[in-house]
Amino acid sequence: MDIKRIGIVGAGEMGNGIAHVFALSGYDVLLYDSDEEAAGNALALIGANIDRQIERGKIAKGKRSEALARIKVVASLAETADADLVVEAAFESESVKSAIFAELLPHLRPRTILTSNTSSISITRLASRTDRPEKFMGFHFMNPVPVMELVELVRGIATSEETYAALVGVTKNIGKTPASSADFPGFTVNRILMPMINEAIYALYEGVGTVESIDNSMRMGANHPMGPFQLADFIGLDACLSIMNALHDGLADTKYRPCPLLAKYVEAGWLGRRTNRGFYDYSGETPFPTR
Ligand code: NAD
């Protein structure tokens, strides 16, 4: 299937990055966000992120203007429908996503593939509310999108082989590695990563070690590039808690019980880097552990 133009719904953290990688790889992008400010900031942010890649020698200077010229910020959701593939990257809310699909579907061509970047909502359920479950898939990018190599391709129960093959091709074209995952909570990466982070929080909670000793243990003893608390603060503790809740609810196994200490940090509004405080405090020159 020939895919040339990509519609992206949501120009936040992920939508921005997704637009960035598609435009750099030669695809035309139609980018929409319901928040005018987010949409307005999108091109400037993508430009700044491309500049960083140029400084690091990752891409050639000439690519910047070409890539930016391929991104068109559009003022309505319906305008993203003029695409061969639509990637939904709006808030992680089933009602928000379903409302977007309901509004978009009457404008979509029958051949267009519809995807969601959701981290925790059932692809099969989202697909069932569309007119094209066989052309619907999970297209799960990792954060930060321009840096991370993997993209999880999540087939709902009705996704066709043709749709899956088309997304494998697109993923390779943007220089990423596709990983197939079945449609179960957390897909593959979060199913394994989040319980590890949650277990580190239990270890802290039970006094096995401190934030620093546990992070050092996993960095130097397991060769992880970041300790679990550094990583949790980077991801956002609210996101960690919501994915643990999705695993716990969706798989109904007590081994996924979110640590009460994680819930407490979220209740306090200590969400990690984004709020300047999580398992580390980021208010000074160097982060220092809060426990
Ligand atoms: P974000 O809050 O940074 O951005 C979401 C954007 O969607 C916002 O700019 C918002 O204005 C926009 N939006 C909300 N409702 C909309 C609507 N009806 N129409 C158009 N735009 C709308 O969120 P994010 O971190 O970019 O996450 C987006 C999706 O990607 C979520 O489903 C999330 O689970 C998933 N995801 C996030 C990460 C991550 O690490 N942040 C990683 C993988 C997947």
**Cα of 222 from ligand 1 centre, angstroms:** 32
- The set of residues, in sequence order, having a beta carbon less than 8 Å from that of 48 and lying 6+ positions away, is none
Indicate if ligand 1 lies below 6 Å from the C-beta of 36: no
pLDDT exceeds cutoff 80 at 1: no
- The set of residues, in sequence order, having a beta carbon less than 8 Å from that of 228 and lying 6+ positions away, is 196, 197, 200, 201, 214, 215, 218
Q: What is the mean pLDDT of residues 59-63?
A: 92
For the chain, what is the mean pLDDT?
97
Cα distances from 75 to residues 30, 33, 58, in angstroms, run 10, 8, 32
> From the centroid of its chain, how far is CA 5?
20
**Cα of 246 from ligand 1 centre, angstroms:** 17
Least trusted range by pLDDT, from 33-42, 84-93, 136-145: 33-42
Cα Dmax for the chain: 57
Nearest Cα residue to 244 out of 268, 219, 222, 261: 261
Distance CA 272, CA 238 (A): 9
Q: Are 113 and 33 in contact (CB under 8 A)?
A: no
- The set of residues, in sequence order, having a beta carbon less than 8 Å from that of 207 and lying 6+ positions away, is none
Model confidence band, residue 40 (pLDDT cutoffs 50, 70, 90): confident
Q: Are 263 and 248 in contact (CB under 8 A)?
A: no
Q: Give the number of other CB atoms < 10 A from CB of residue 32.
A: 27
**Cα of 65 from ligand 1 centre, angstroms:** 26
Q: What is the mean pLDDT of residues 155-179?
A: 98
Query: Angle at Cα 120 formed by Cα 76 and Cα 270, nearest 5°?
Result: 95
Q: Which residue has the tokens 């997704």?
A: 18
pLDDT exceeds cutoff 90 at 69: yes
Per residue in 233-249, pLDDT (tens digit) is 999 999 999 999 999 99
Indicate if ligand 1 lies below 6 Å from the C-beta of 212: no
Indicate if ligand 1 lies below 6 Å from the C-beta of 91: yes
Regarding pTM above 0.85, the answer is yes
Residues marked as catalytic: 119, 140, 152, 190
Per residue in 99-123, pLDDT (tens digit) is 999 999 999 999 999 999 999 999 9
Indicate if ligand 1 lies below 6 Å from the C-beta of 92: yes
By most ligand atoms within 8 Å of CB, the mutation choice from 13, 104, 193, 197 for ligand 1 is: 13
Distance CA 28, CA 38 (A): 20
Residue nearest to atom 38 of ligand 1 (CA): 143
Per residue in 169-217, pLDDT (tens digit) is 999 999 999 999 999 999 999 999 999 999 999 999 999 999 999 999 9
Query: Angle at Cα 206 formed by Cα 204 and Cα 210, nearest 5°?
Result: 30
By most ligand atoms within 8 Å of CB, the mutation choice from 8, 14, 107, 153 for ligand 1 is: 14
Angle between helices 189-205 and 260-268 (to 10 degrees): 90
Evaluated on CA atoms 102, 73, 152, 240, the torsion sign reads negative
Q: Are 211 and 290 in contact (CB under 8 A)?
A: yes
Q: Judging by DSSP bridges, how do beta strands 85-88 and 150-155 pair with one another?
A: unpaired
